[in-house]
């Protein structure tokens, strides 16, 4: 089931590994914008939770400052850095 409106687990965006919509605050670790507020949508390729084995996790981060960012975690690799999505 898709989760909505919950805080990032352990106040760390890296731990938002299950399908869902999470919010983060100024003191949340690994947020798209350090010291800001926003929402993260987490999407998992297979299953409902990233398992560090055979699926990938993608996050779309939206800040309260109208900035859109993206990152991903493939299998047991580390999270990529947050990349800003801009209009073309």
Rounded Cα distance, 25 and 56, in Å: 25
Q: Does the structure show a pLDDT above 60 at 3?
A: yes
Residue 52, token pair as written in the block: 């560090």
Q: Say which DSSP state 69 is in.
A: E
How many domains does the chain fold into? Answer: 1
Rounded Cα distance, 67 and 34, in Å: 12
Spatial contact of 2 and 13, defined as CB atoms under 8 Å apart: no
Phi, psi torsion values for 58, nearest 5 degrees: -125, 140
Tell me which residue has tokens 């055979």: 54
pLDDT band (50, 70, 90) for residue 77: very high
State CA 52 to chain mean position distance. Answer: 15
pLDDT in the model for residue 88:
67
The residue segments making up the domain with residue 61 are 3-85
pTM recorded for the entire structure: 0.89
pLDDT in the model for residue 4:
73
């Amino acid at each position: 089931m898709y989760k909505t409106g919950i805080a990032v687990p352990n106040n760390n965006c890296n731990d938002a590994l299950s399908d869902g919509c999470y919010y983060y605050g100024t003191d949340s670790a690994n947020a798209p914008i350090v010291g800001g507020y926003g929402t993260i949508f987490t999407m998992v390729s297979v299953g409902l939770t990233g398992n560090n084995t055979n699926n990938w996790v993608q996050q779309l981060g939206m800040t309260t400052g109208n900035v859109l960012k993206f990152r991903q975690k493939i299998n047991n690799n580390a999270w990529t850095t947050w990349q800003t999505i801009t209009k073309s």
